[in-house]
Amino acid sequence: MDVFGVHDRLIKDYSEFTSSLVQVRDVKIADHLRDEQEDKVRWPDPWLSLNPNFEPGGTVTELVARDVLHPHCARFFRAKKHEADDGARTLTLHRHQRDAIEAPKSGDSYVLTTGTGSGKSLTYIVPIVDSILRDPEPGRIKAIVVYPMNALANSQLHELEKYLTWGMAADDRPVTFARYTGQEGEEERDRILRRKPDILLTNYVMLEYLLTRPVERQQLIGAAQGLRLLILDELHTYRGRQGADVAMLVRRLRDACDAPGLQCVGTSATMATGATFAEARTRIAAVASRLFGADVRPDRVIADADGAPVATGHLDAPAVRVAVP
């Protein structure tokens, strides 16, 4: 199938359909609409994104050997295929994953911005688990992960189940986690309130409720005193009024949890563009600093090995037809 041909036919047919509905008599308006059509304002060229080959960054076992990670991390973070599988081999990391896993050791807030499919979620799961293993503090919530959509929280719940429960006996699971997004039934909510997880997955709307509803504030925010890590996934979605709301939410959470040293982490596939990598990092750091209410230095913006937080641009469709078989 020639996908570009399909695209061209679809645009042509739809353009003819929409233009047939109204006969524009004003010359200036007609010229304006014609210019927009020629400039492809309404129907731009196809967008094609290629997955890069990320630079290798070693293995989880190697980080354990260097004492970057707790020894138990080597048991958890392995390639697993099913619930009874304890993992035949350790996970191999990309370089940006290794850099992000090592970043929390400094105590600074930071941002990871890499392409889709680059393994961003692992870069905060591993440091969270490492922190809990080194200092368990039973009964306390040590990390809160905030997602803009429940679908992302559901996906991450599966990842945590895979790494922290698959292939392990029920009484040998030292790190606990729970999703609290409003999807849970009453029995599940009561269980979470009674048995506070180490890691809480939620969304920004539910996090607002945790701060305002008396029972949740007493039970969950009360258990999150001295909160260590706050993760904001898909950081680029928090913009405009929603961004301002979330920025205030972060500050209120820090105060409510009495966590002045709260480490904030943001992940995103798309954040900012710039003429150079240094310029892009500076812009991303400024946005993250405003959102977190904490200083994020440009050198705390981690990108993949090609040094580009974003890939943008338009494709020449005829050239791509030739290049792609």
Mind listing the pLDDT tens digit for each residue in 24-83?
889 999 899 888 888 888 777 776 666 667 888 999 999 999 999 999 999 999 999 999
State which H helix or E strand residue 285 sits in. helix 277-292
Residue 201 DSSP SS3:
strand
Q: Which of 22-36, 56-70, 119-133, 246-260 has the weakest average pLDDT?
A: 22-36
**For the chain, domain boundaries:** 3-44, 94-303
Q: pLDDT grade, residue 222 (50/70/90)? A: very high
Give pLDDT, residue 160. 96
The neighbour count for residue 104, using CB atoms within 10 Å, is: 21
Tell me the CATH class for 94-303: alpha beta
Q: What is the C-alpha to C-alpha distance for residues 267 and 264, in angstroms, rounded to an integer?
A: 10
Q: What is the C-alpha to C-alpha distance for residues 193 and 196, in angstroms, rounded to an integer?
A: 6
Quote the mean pLDDT of the chain.
88
Query: What sign for the dihedral angle of Cα 299, 100, 92, 63?
Result: positive
Mind listing the pLDDT tens digit for each residue in 189-221?
999 999 999 999 999 999 999 999 999 999 999
Q: pLDDT grade, residue 307 (50/70/90)? A: very low
Q: What is the C-alpha to C-alpha distance for residues 36 and 57, in angstroms, rounded to an integer?
A: 47
pTM of the shown model = 0.79
DSSP states along 4-67: HHHHHHHHHHHHHHHHTT-----HHHHHHHHHHHHTTSSSPPP-------PPEEEEHHHHHHTT
Give pLDDT, residue 311. 38
Q: pLDDT grade, residue 310 (50/70/90)? A: very low
Q: What is the C-alpha to C-alpha distance for residues 291 and 297, in angstroms, rounded to an integer?
A: 13
Give pLDDT, residue 305. 58
